[in-house]
Structure 1
């Protein structure tokens, strides 16, 4: 008998947890042949929710102590910490990462498990066929992010891929060997390698509640991903500095030659100030890029834990 663990991060998801559990249980009951030799384990991660999420998880655990477990943080540590904690607390031979809002359809689990059991793959991922129902600006930013990151990073990230995936224990153990504090799971899933294929599905609405991701948070998350998996921004800063230096040297020679040959030096303080402001702005931009990387190094050097567990069952 093998075990399938479902990792389910939760942040202020009080209205969705029971809906998620009942939906997954129905999928398991409707597909007895697919799960006849499989026991299921739920690992919910309460990421410092401010609503009644923890009490809902306590109630669910009390009703199903053998299959439903939860890990509750002392505060909100973020999505990546929640995913890591869930993976670290699983015991399953197969491990799935899922969103509790049912935007990751549990109906795909039987097919994902069947494909994994063939031994041809180590991971069955999922990706949305479209982004119907999503704000246009968010879809545009998402497409732009995937386009940029795949051009500047050696680790390719599948556009519209979800964190929702079913993995073998071997792949999960490989992911857990990466100790870095700054984590971007979509990149890590691809960085460790292993044989992966993707299933497509139609974009699904939330079962209840509202998304907790603002456009600004998604933008910062994207910037973290680029810094975590590419040093191209540093190379851009170096190239920009070198190019400006070359232009400056050429400009000095032009000014000197005009003065010697034509006794006509460059006049006008407006153009000078404009150039100084431009160069100063570019310097600050490059320092910002470098500072971002240094900040990441600083955080890594502290060796702080990714999360602190206040309660678990």
Structure 2
């Protein structure tokens, strides 16, 4: 029976934050009072992180914190991104157990007792969740999401589970391991499996947002997926090198073919159109390879500057 911390990153969630707080507190109160036989806690706390919201999310957090001493919050000076908010929330949490959840109630609080039971009684260090369906999600987004997980599965050195959510409940030891990775280019879905430990997965069907709209556009998700691939795999660099070597041998074979044809048949060199196509094709390969290398260099550039992940404007 120990303290459970709930870390909640928020960005423009003024419509959802009250609903999330009330719904989750009901579950936590039952766990504290011993009404839930699966798992019990001695106390709980909320750690909300306002990621530079432009609406009244911060006002809502102030109201909740003023009436409940178990509610704490951080407010960033601007929007630094969900990864920074997660890192800040984990750093501020004091519980022996820590759960990471979204404020839109797409992460069912009802799973918390079962997840904690797995840690307290089954010897797991982390209880993670994944969606088994993408009901009510745009088909195009679902298609590219599945392709991303397949690509990550082949390229990454760590297992990234299809449909994995950030919704996790972990021990303090697991949390400390995650925080020990202080890189600026963070991809939590890769960091969680990278640190290892024993993890149990819980499946659930997709749940619609309780209020508001998603803050993840297709472009943001695309850039996030690129960060994930670059952050946990060097195979794109190997791929670009292999393509370069294959291109060299292909061009040598083509040169040899032209020479032999000239010697045997006496044909003048022809095919300016095909030559232009070849030049364009190989120029594209070169630019692609340079782009891949450039992405890795940009990440190195960000890391060596050692800028802080976030700046706190207000804290309670």
Verify the 8 A CA contact 2:84 2:310 in the aligned structure 1. Answer: yes
What's the TM-score, normalizing by structure 2? 0.96
103-112 or 24-33: bigger deviation = 24-33
Give deviations 1:191-229, integer Å, cap 9, x for gaps: 000000111112111110110111111111111101111
Aligned length: 312
279-288 or 31-40: bigger deviation = 31-40
Aligned counterparts of 1:144 and 1:37: Cα–Cα separation in 2: 40
Aligned counterparts of 2:224 and 2:114: Cα–Cα separation in 1: 31
Q: CA 1:153/1:36 → structure 2, altered by over 3 Å: closer, same or farther?
A: closer
Please name the residue that 2:49 is paired with: 45
5-14 or 195-204: bigger deviation = 195-204
Please name the residue that 1:22 is paired with: 22
Which residue of the other structure, out of 45, 54, 57, is the alignment partner of 2:61?
A: 57
Verify the 8 A CA contact 2:4 2:41 in the aligned structure 1. Answer: no
Whether 1:134 and 2:137 are equivalent positions in the alignment is yes
Please name the residue that 1:231 is paired with: 234
4+ aligned runs moved over 6 Å, structure 1: none
What's the TM-score, normalizing by structure 1? 0.97
The Cα shift of 1:137 comes to 0.9
Give deviations 1:263-300, integer Å, cap 9, x for gaps: 22321321111111111111111111111111111111
The Cα shift of 1:112 comes to 1.1
Please name the residue that 1:10 is paired with: 10
Aligned counterparts of 2:126 and 2:140: Cα–Cα separation in 1: 31
SS at match of 1:264: coil
Aligned counterparts of 2:16 and 2:162: Cα–Cα separation in 1: 27
Verify the 8 A CA contact 1:175 1:192 in the aligned structure 2. Answer: yes
The Cα shift of 1:257 comes to 2.1
Give deviations 1:146-168, integer Å, cap 9, x for gaps: 11110111201111111101000
Aligned-residue RMSD, C-alpha? 1.2
Please name the residue that 2:114 is paired with: 111
Please name the residue that 1:274 is paired with: 277
Aligned counterparts of 2:168 and 2:243: Cα–Cα separation in 1: 40
SS at match of 1:210: coil
SS at match of 2:5: strand
246-255 or 291-300: bigger deviation = 246-255
Aligned positions of 1:44-123 closer than 5 A: 44-64=48-68, 66-118=69-121, 120-123=123-126
Task: Structure 1: give runs of 5+ residues left out of the alignment.
Answer: none
Please name the residue that 1:301 is paired with: 304
Aligned counterparts of 1:85 and 1:56: Cα–Cα separation in 2: 19
Task: Structure 2: give runs of 5+ residues left out of the alignment.
Answer: none
Aligned positions of 1:249-264 closer than 5 A: 249-264=252-267
Verify the 8 A CA contact 1:255 1:265 in the aligned structure 2. Answer: no
23-32 or 201-210: bigger deviation = 23-32
